[in-house]
Structure 1
Amino acid sequence: MRLTYSIVGILTAMNLIACSEKATPPNILFIAIDDLRPELGCYGKDYVHSPNLDQLARESYLFRNHYVTVPTCGASRYNLLTSQLPKDGGDLSNMVAAKEISEKFIASDSAPSAKPETFIHALRNNGYYTVGMGKISHHPDGYVYGYNEPRSNQLELPNSWDEMLFDAGKWGTGHNAFFGYADGSNRNGMKKQVKPYESADVDDEGYPDGLTTNLAVNKLKELKQKGQPFFLGVGFFKPHLPFTAPQKYWDLYEEEKIPMALFAAIPENSSKASLQASGELNQYLLGEEKAGLDSAVSDTYARKLRHGYLAAVSYVDAQVGKLMDELEKQGLAENTIVVVWGDHGWHLGDQLTWGKHTVFDVALQSVLMIKRPGQGGGNIEQVVSTTDIYPTLMELAGVKMDYEVDGESMKPLMDQPQEATWRNTAYSYFKNGISLRTPRYRMTKYFRKQAPEIELYDHQEDPYETKNISAEKPKVVEKLMPLLERGDTGIYRN
């Protein structure tokens, strides 16, 4: 009898311990990677050297059809942080967070509103210690100031952070570091008389992302000792232009073997107005060639640029590996959610374009993986949106939301990847267009003078979006139009 009670006591104690552990809020390590399209081994690109992200993907829920809401850095990040679809043209600007969050905070005499400014603010309100470093919102160090100005003290997200950190190293400011070269120069100071790529015989700390990694590694050690659930946001710059990386990452690739864009032309029945003339790339005035919509750059130059992009991807992959190693070393991995998110895709000569700023798939599809402690993960094929990340993290963290957002929690998909009730759509906005992505189709309605008004691409038959078939498939357009119009927030009429 005594033995029975002893066993019951042990089981009760074990249950109490289990409940206590279950009640412990998970930490969150959020890694934002600038301009990272799904150009990784885990997305089937076997020519890419991305072992650390590939390993993390095997331990995570890998979203194979994740699309951003706006294909430009600041507006995409604003959507991530607020889970709000853009309602007017200002919401498509890189300055939207500065105007809608930072400036309104100042105008209200620095009095925080009841509604969280971002999901990070919501976590902070619920007991999380929040630390940001690098590019989480638009400005590369989290402070609002111009490219050629000294760093200000105006936080872009004033209520979100307990700490906002950045090591600008030899570059001096976040903006200079963002456009920095290995010798400490930068695109701004050089008045754009620079190449769009660079390989240098330096260690990882020879470029800014290596310094950010060191900062994050040291902060994880501190957070381990703090004994409080934390949110650590780490924003890496690469592979954003300029495509710079230590030489050892360039050496991972044989340039002549790097594959070219699978479709480098304006899609049939489309328009130049749907694309863009690679203005961001062409700002690097010492580039060997100018890209445009009238003709493709040479294969030699295209391979050089793609080489630079891939080297930068491999460089940032190594930084992610260092973070994951430290998470394990500190014993934090078993209770930390890890998110890797690319803020949008990037045309690498696809559709005759170099850059983002279109509503084609290559500008909108980006990396998303979420590692949940104690969960095995797996591939998720359903269409999801960046808008869905906010409510997902709130549910995973056990934070109640009593305010409206435009996204939906993806936790049901992670719990049951074949979830039949998932909406399976994503909306995106740019170029005076509203674009709808479904599992099979991308349909875009443009509000402009140039024809065509509607573009439709069948990803089952035409995965590289080579031909607009809206005129050939009027019944498909008719069927999809009510669904597209659900995403019409009045953005082009406000």
Structure 2
Amino acid sequence: MLAITAGYAQQQPAGQRPNVLFICIDDLRPDLGCYGSQQVHSPNLDRFAGSSMLFSKQYATVPTCGASRASILTGMLPREKADLSNEAAAMKISGKPETAEPETFIAQLKRNGYYTVGIGKISHYVDGYVYPYTAPKSDKLELPHSWNEMLFDPGKWKTGWNAFFGYADGSNRQSKKGEIKPYEAADVNDEGYPDGLTAALAVKKLRELGAKKQPFFLAVGFFKPHLPFNAPKKYWDMYDESKITLTPSPGIPENVNRASLHGSAEFNQYKLGEEKASLNAAVSDAYARKLRHAYYACISYTDAQIGKVLDALKAAGLDKNTVVVIWSDHGWHLGDDLVWGKHTIFEWALRSVLMIRTPAMKQGAVCDKVVSAVDVYPTLMSLCDVPMPHRTDGQSLAPLLRNPHARHWNEAAYSYFRNGITVRTARYRLTRYFRKAQPVIELYDHQTDPWENHNVAAQHPDIVKALMKTWEKGNTGIYDKRQQ
């Protein structure tokens, strides 16, 4: 357990606003050493945790990339079906006039004197420009009012989407029409895959930003461990596949309808995979270990790239006045509940990484309070001394940065998908689905069932009734009949 110290979020000297480094990681569940993993090699993120506030119970609002990112960037819970789409930001922000709501916290920082730079996947579109997977790059920004600069180095893959689904030989999932494996271990250096190029670009840009007489916001988005699970061989070599453990949730949870889960369609797009995933049967133990090995190798690869960026921040002396946020957009089922992928409102798909370091922090600590991704927007406004322009659905984490045991904290994180709304409290998860397939109510007691293997709603109607009052506060009307 990390040490707990006071004074996490002390104010900066007058007129000296902090810089912000915001690092996004795609599809990373909290399988890191600092989150208690005994298997994953993540030395750089673990080191960062030693000087930051690690939030052990942070939840994405939507378990899909674009919608999750739109939610954290705007501080808003989904209210329309469009808010559950990967196109959420493109539909709600791109092409709209400046100051139209919803606005990103990046736009607020830019309007208040920050020089803003994005590198890689920050919202849904992997280089920040709106265009289909197989089309040439467009000139239409997904977040047009957020950036002074939006950068990406696609290398041999030529476009952002090709790089996102890229293999070491310069090919990609689209060009191969899915006739590829869901993993690759090429004997290449870090820049043989796109995230290495992103790290190099971020290191270069940090040096430039350090010379500016203006506070900056730099966002850096890494692809891995998103599918395909491709990473340089040296990161695969860190693991003994035979010793990788399997899921504690090997089947469909008790008293749960299959409609709450899915058949791993995204994973099955990789047609040369040795086995297909389904809700009818688990993949073999050997293949499950292979896939977990691949996912862990990708984590270690991304960890190394983040280490380069953090080292560059320190080398430039910028760490002394920079707030650093490291966040992953949601979790991922690694065969848990027979699912390979995100897109559920179970703990596996919703719990993700959040660590925040302010210049005032001397040591790290762990906060076990339940928090939501929508809390990041008001937190950054507070830390950067920027007035909140309008109300969001989040609550500033500043009190928890000062004291991770703060008593007056509303522990309720809401998430939405699969025609369902779920709320995570300190002890329970209560989920209600808007569908005909029964049961539509699920209750999980994390004190006795941390892996959510047993829906105990029918056995505890009193707890369901009590928690439903909290659940109702997150019912934004998204599944109202008019939205169907």
- Where 1:402 maps in the other structure, the secondary structure is coil
How far apart are residue 19 of structure 1 and its match? 9.7
How far apart are residue 419 of structure 1 and its match? 1.1
What's 1:29 paired with? 21
Is 1:339–2:325 an aligned residue pair?
Answer: yes
How far apart are residue 22 of structure 1 and its match? 4.6
8 Å Cα contact 1:29-1:338 kept in structure 2: yes
The letter of the residue matching 2:378 is P
What's 1:432 paired with? 419
Written as runs of structure 1 = structure 2, the 5 A alignment for 1:7-46 is 21-46=13-38
Is 1:55–2:41 an aligned residue pair?
Answer: no
How far apart are residue 102 of structure 1 and its match? 0.5
Match 1:223 to one of 209, 216, 236: 209
What's 2:72 paired with? 80
Is 1:311–2:303 an aligned residue pair?
Answer: no
Q: Deviations for 1:465-485, whole angstroms, at most 9, x for unmatched residues?
A: 111000001110010001101
Is 1:353–2:320 an aligned residue pair?
Answer: no
8 Å Cα contact 2:33-2:42 kept in structure 1: yes
- Where 2:251 maps in the other structure, the secondary structure is coil
- Where 2:224 maps in the other structure, the secondary structure is coil
- Cα distance between partner residues in 2 of 1:101 and 1:325: 34
- Cα distance between partner residues in 2 of 1:418 and 1:23: 30
8 Å Cα contact 2:92-2:102 kept in structure 1: no
8 Å Cα contact 1:131-1:161 kept in structure 2: yes
How far apart are residue 113 of structure 1 and its match? 2.6
Q: Specify whether residues 228 and 272 from structure 1 end up closer, same or farther in structure 2 by C-alpha distance, changes over 3 A only.
A: same
- Cα distance between partner residues in 1 of 2:262 and 2:35: 26
What's 2:5 paired with? none
The letter of the residue matching 2:420 is G
Is 1:454–2:454 an aligned residue pair?
Answer: no
Is 1:239–2:231 an aligned residue pair?
Answer: no
8 Å Cα contact 1:79-1:387 kept in structure 2: yes
How far apart are residue 94 of structure 1 and its match? 0.2
Written as runs of structure 1 = structure 2, the 5 A alignment for 1:382-401 is 382-401=369-388
- Where 1:31 maps in the other structure, the secondary structure is strand
- Cα distance between partner residues in 2 of 1:461 and 1:127: 49
The letter of the residue matching 1:66 is Q
Written as runs of structure 1 = structure 2, the 5 A alignment for 1:190-339 is 190-339=176-325
- Where 1:200 maps in the other structure, the secondary structure is coil
8 Å Cα contact 1:62-1:379 kept in structure 2: yes
- Cα distance between partner residues in 1 of 2:365 and 2:12: 28
8 Å Cα contact 1:66-1:367 kept in structure 2: yes
Match 1:164 to one of 150, 167, 170: 150
The letter of the residue matching 1:378 is A
- Cα distance between partner residues in 1 of 2:12 and 2:449: 52
| Structure 1 unmatched ranges of 5 or more | 1-17, 106-110
8 Å Cα contact 2:114-2:215 kept in structure 1: yes
Q: Deviations for 1:73-104, whole angstroms, at most 9, x for unmatched residues?
A: 0000000110111001111000010011103x
8 Å Cα contact 1:117-1:157 kept in structure 2: no
- Where 2:142 maps in the other structure, the secondary structure is coil
The letter of the residue matching 2:472 is E
How far apart are residue 114 of structure 1 and its match? 5.8
Q: Specify whether residues 221 and 141 from structure 1 end up closer, same or farther in structure 2 by C-alpha distance, changes over 3 A only.
A: same
What's 1:473 paired with? 460
The letter of the residue matching 1:463 is P
Q: Specify whether residues 116 and 468 from structure 1 end up closer, same or farther in structure 2 by C-alpha distance, changes over 3 A only.
A: closer
- Cα distance between partner residues in 1 of 2:399 and 2:239: 39
- Where 1:64 maps in the other structure, the secondary structure is strand
With normalisation by structure 2, the TM-score equals 0.96
- Cα distance between partner residues in 2 of 1:275 and 1:99: 27
Q: Deviations for 1:144-178, whole angstroms, at most 9, x for unmatched residues?
A: 00000000000000000000000000000000000
The letter of the residue matching 2:74 is T
The letter of the residue matching 1:274 is S
What's 2:400 paired with? 413
| Structure 2 unmatched ranges of 5 or more | 1-9
- Cα distance between partner residues in 2 of 1:457 and 1:117: 35
Identity of aligned residues (%): 61
How far apart are residue 420 of structure 1 and its match? 1.1
Greater shift, 371-380 or 26-35, is seen at 371-380
What's 1:370 paired with? 356
What's 1:485 paired with? 472
Q: Deviations for 1:27-69, whole angstroms, at most 9, x for unmatched residues?
A: 0000000001000000000211000000001110000000000
- Cα distance between partner residues in 2 of 1:81 and 1:298: 39
Is 1:93–2:80 an aligned residue pair?
Answer: no
How far apart are residue 423 of structure 1 and its match? 0.1
How far apart are residue 262 of structure 1 and its match? 1.1
How far apart are residue 226 of structure 1 and its match? 1.1
The letter of the residue matching 2:33 is G
How far apart are residue 417 of structure 1 and its match? 1.3
The letter of the residue matching 1:468 is N
Choose between structure 1 and 2: higher helix proportion: 1
What's 2:432 paired with? 445
- Cα distance between partner residues in 1 of 2:190 and 2:429: 39
Q: Deviations for 1:266-288, whole angstroms, at most 9, x for unmatched residues?
A: 00100110001101100000000
- Where 2:231 maps in the other structure, the secondary structure is strand
- Supply the RMSD in Å over aligned alpha carbons: 1.2
Q: Specify whether residues 302 and 248 from structure 1 end up closer, same or farther in structure 2 by C-alpha distance, changes over 3 A only.
A: same
What's 1:108 paired with? none
User: Which has more radius of gyration?
Assistant: 1
Structure 1: which 4+ aligned runs deviate by more than 4 Å? Answer: none
Q: Deviations for 1:369-396, whole angstroms, at most 9, x for unmatched residues?
A: 0011121331000000001000001101
What's 1:133 paired with? 119
Q: How many residue pairs align between the two structures? A: 471
The letter of the residue matching 1:85 is L
